[in-house]
Structure 1
Amino acid sequence: MSLFSRYRVLLPIASLTLLMAVTFYVQPRTLSYFGLNLLFNLAVPIALATIAQMLIIMVNDIDLGIGAFVSLTACVTATFLEQSPLMGTVMLVALIIAYALMGAMIHALALPAIVVTLGMSFVWGGLALFLLPSPGGASPTWLREIMTVKPPLIPMALVAACLIAGVTHWLIAHSGIGTVLRGIGGNAEAVRRAGWPLIRLKALAYGLAGLFGVLAGMTLVGLTTSADANIALRYTLLSIAGVILGGGEFIGGKVSPVGAVIGALTLALAASFLSFMRLSPDWQIGAQGAILIAVLAARLLFRRRDGARR
C-alpha cells in the first residue's frame, strides 16, 4: 500500500487537530461543551452537503448545483414541511427523484456533469426564490428539537458528524453497492462488462446525493429556524473543498467518507475561528482556501516521498 493511501484519513485528522489547537490557544474558553458547540454549530449541514458532493465525485462527476439544491430543500422545509408535513414530504421525495433523473440523463446523453449541474443550479435557485422571495418561514418543531438536543459530554454537532461518517463509511466501503459505485469511478467499462447497468448506477449515485442534500437543507433549517433562497449557496465550494481536504480525488473513485466529514468539520471550524479573529468574510474565504492549499501540498509531499522510495 502506498504512503498516501495509508495517510488518506490521517492528513485531514492532522489538519483538524492543528486548527483546533490554534483555536484553543487563541480562545481558551472554546475548550468547553458550550465552546465546542459554538465552534461546530453549522458543521452538520456542511458535512451532509460534502457527502452529497463526494457521491458525485466518486463516479467521476462534479456537482456545481448542490448549494442551490440545499437552499431549495431548506425553503421547502421552512414552508411546506412546516405548514403541511405530507405535502412537504412529497416535495422533498420528488426533489430526490429529480436528482436521480438528472444523473440518468447525464449518462444517457453523455453530457458533461459540470455543465448540467451548473444549469440546474439556476433551476433550483429559481424554485427557491418562488417559494421564499424574502427570508422567512419556520422550522418544524420536531426538527428544531432534534437539532438542539444536548447529549452529555459531546455536543450534538460532533455526535451527528460521527454518525454521518460511520453510516457513509459502511455504505461506501463495506456494502456491495458502494463497491460497485466506486468501481464506476475506477473503471466504468469493467463495471459494464460485469453486467451492471451504468445508467441505473449513475441514477442511484445522484439519488443518494440528492438524499444527503435534502438532509443538509433540513438540518440547516433546524439550526437557523428559518430559510432563505440563498442560504446555502456557499455549500457548493465548501463541499468540493471538504471532499478534497478529506483525501478524495476527482477521478478514479478514490474518496473517503470519514475524511470528507473531517474536511467539513475543518472548514466549519475555520469559519468559526476566523469569526473569533473578527476577519471580514472576504478574508475568511481566502483563509479557507489557504487551508485547502496547505493540505494539498502535504498530500503532494507524501506522494513524492512514496515515489522516491520506489
Structure 2
Amino acid sequence: MSFFSRHRILLPVISLAVLLAATFYMQPRAMSYFGLNLLFNLAVPIALATIAQMMIIMVNDIDLSVGAFVSLVACITATYLNDSPMIGILMLVALIVTYAAMGAVIDALELPAIVVTLGMSFVWGGLALFILPSPGGASPGWLRTLMTVKPPFMPMAVVASILIAIVTHLLIIRSGFGTVLRGVGGNSRALTRAGLSVTRLKAWAYGLAGLFGVLAGMALVGLTTAADANIALRYTLLSIAGVILGGGEFTGGKVSPTGAVIGALTLTLAASFLSFLRLSPDWQIGSQGAILILVLTARLIFSRKGAAT
C-alpha cells in the first residue's frame, strides 16, 4: 500500500495548497482576510452538499438529486421559513424524513439508487418551481446574520468549513455509529450476520444526507439573500467531484469527511482562480473538470505504484 493510500487526505491538501499558492501569485491582494472571504464565499453550502453526497456514496450508492434537493430547500427557506417559520421547519423536517424513507425503499426493494435519485430530482425540481415560480423570496434575518458573521483571524467560510470537517469526522470516522454506517458500504453481509438491519442503516445514511442537504440550502440562502428553483443544480456534480477529489471511493465505504470538505474548498477556489485567468464561463466548467482529472490521475498513479511495490 502506497503512502498516499495510507494517508488519502494528503493529496486533497496538496491540491488545495497548490491552487491557493497559484491564486495568490495571480492576485496577491487575495492574501488577506477580505480576499479569502471572497475566494471561499460560497464554500459552506458546497461543503455541506458534498458531505450530503458523501453519506450516500459511503453506502455504495450515488445521489443525482442533491442539486435539485438543495434548490428546493433554498426555495422553502426564502419563502415559508421566512414568512411562516413553523410551517417552514415542518416542511424541512418532512424532507429529511422523506430522504430517509427513500434510502429504506431503495434497499428493501433492491432498486438502483442512481435511477431513483434521478427520478426524485424531477420531483424536487417540480416542487421548487411550485413554491417559487420565479427568482425571489428573502433570507430570514437570523440566517443572514449567521452567514455574514466576521470572526477574528479567519473568514466565516473558512471557520465554518473547519467546523463541518471536525463534526463529520467525529460522527463518521471516530464514532461507533459512523463505523457501522461505513460498514454498509464495506461489508453489508457481515452486518446482516451480526443481526443489524442494513435497510435501517441505509435509512439513517440517507437521513443524514437529507439533513446536510437542508443545511446546504439554508446556508446558500443566507449568503445569496434570495432563492431560485435552479439555484443549486450544479451542486450534484460538484458534490460528487468533491467527495472523489477528497479521497473517497464509489465502493467499499471508503470516504474521508475532512477530505470531502477540502475537495469542496478546492472546487470553490478553482472557480475563482479561473476567473483570475479571465477565462470565459464556457471554458471555466471544462477547466474545473480538467483540474479534477489531473488530481485523480495523480492519485491513481500513486496507488498503482504502491500496489506494485
Aligned to 2:183: 183
Task: Write out per-residue CA displacement over residues 57-99 of structure 1, whole angstroms, 9 at most, x where no aligned residue.
Answer: 0000000000000000000000000001100000000000000
Map 1:103-182; keep pairs closer than 5 Å: 103-182=103-182
Aligned to 1:305: 305
Q: Name the stretch that deviates more: 43-52 or 277-286.
A: 277-286
SS of structure 2 residue aligned to 1:278: coil
Q: Distance in 1 between matches of 2:288 and 2:167?
A: 27
Task: Write out per-residue CA displacement over residues 21-47 of structure 1, whole angstroms, 9 at most, x where no aligned residue.
Answer: 000000001000000000000000000
Aligned to 2:54: 54
Map 1:119-268; keep pairs closer than 5 Å: 119-268=119-268
Q: TM-score, normalised to structure 2's length? A: 0.99
The answer to whether the 8 Å contact 2:70/2:217 transfers is yes
| Cα displacement (A) at 1:134 | 0.4
Unaligned runs of 5+ in 1: none
SS of structure 2 residue aligned to 1:89: helix
Q: Distance in 2 between matches of 1:104 and 1:180?
A: 16
Map 1:283-298; keep pairs closer than 5 Å: 283-298=283-298
Task: Write out per-residue CA displacement over residues 207-247 of structure 1, whole angstroms, 9 at most, x where no aligned residue.
Answer: 00000000000000000000000000000000000000000
Q: Which amino acid aligns with 1:189?
A: R
| Cα displacement (A) at 1:281 | 2.0
SS of structure 1 residue aligned to 2:115: helix
Q: Which amino acid aligns with 2:204?
A: L
Q: Distance in 1 between matches of 2:303 and 2:165?
A: 25
| Cα displacement (A) at 1:302 | 1.0
Q: Distance in 2 between matches of 1:92 and 1:50?
A: 19
| Cα displacement (A) at 1:49 | 0.1
| Cα displacement (A) at 1:305 | 1.4
Q: Distance in 2 between matches of 1:308 and 1:121?
A: 42
SS of structure 2 residue aligned to 1:188: helix
Q: Name the stretch that deviates more: 193-202 or 112-121.
A: 193-202
Aligned to 2:278: 278
| Cα displacement (A) at 1:100 | 0.3
Task: Write out per-residue CA displacement over residues 128-157 of structure 1, whole angstroms, 9 at most, x where no aligned residue.
Answer: 000010000000000000000000110000
| Cα displacement (A) at 1:2 | 4.2
- Identical aligned residues as a percent: 78
Q: Distance in 2 between matches of 1:122 and 1:232?
A: 14
Q: Distance in 2 between matches of 1:136 and 1:274?
A: 29
Q: TM-score, normalised to structure 1's length? A: 0.98
Q: Distance in 2 between matches of 1:157 and 1:139?
A: 18
Unaligned runs of 5+ in 2: none
Q: Which amino acid aligns with 2:155?
A: P
Q: Which amino acid aligns with 1:94?
A: A
Q: Which amino acid aligns with 1:15?
A: S
Q: How many residues align?
A: 309
Q: Distance in 2 between matches of 1:57 and 1:198?
A: 15
Map 1:5-84; keep pairs closer than 5 Å: 5-84=5-84
| Cα displacement (A) at 1:270 | 0.5
Q: Distance in 1 between matches of 2:17 and 2:214?
A: 29
| Cα displacement (A) at 1:304 | 1.6
Q: Distance in 2 between matches of 1:153 and 1:287?
A: 32
Task: Write out per-residue CA displacement over residues 138-184 of structure 1, whole angstroms, 9 at most, x where no aligned residue.
Answer: 00000000000000110000000000000000001111110001001
| Cα displacement (A) at 1:283 | 1.1
Q: Distance in 2 between matches of 1:281 and 1:196?
A: 49
Q: Distance in 2 between matches of 1:87 and 1:161?
A: 29
Q: Which amino acid aligns with 2:207?
A: G
Q: Distance in 2 between matches of 1:19 and 1:4?
A: 19
Q: Distance in 1 between matches of 2:119 and 2:70?
A: 15
Q: Does 1:95 align with 2:75?
A: no
| Superposition RMSD in Å | 0.8
Q: Which amino acid aligns with 1:108?
A: A
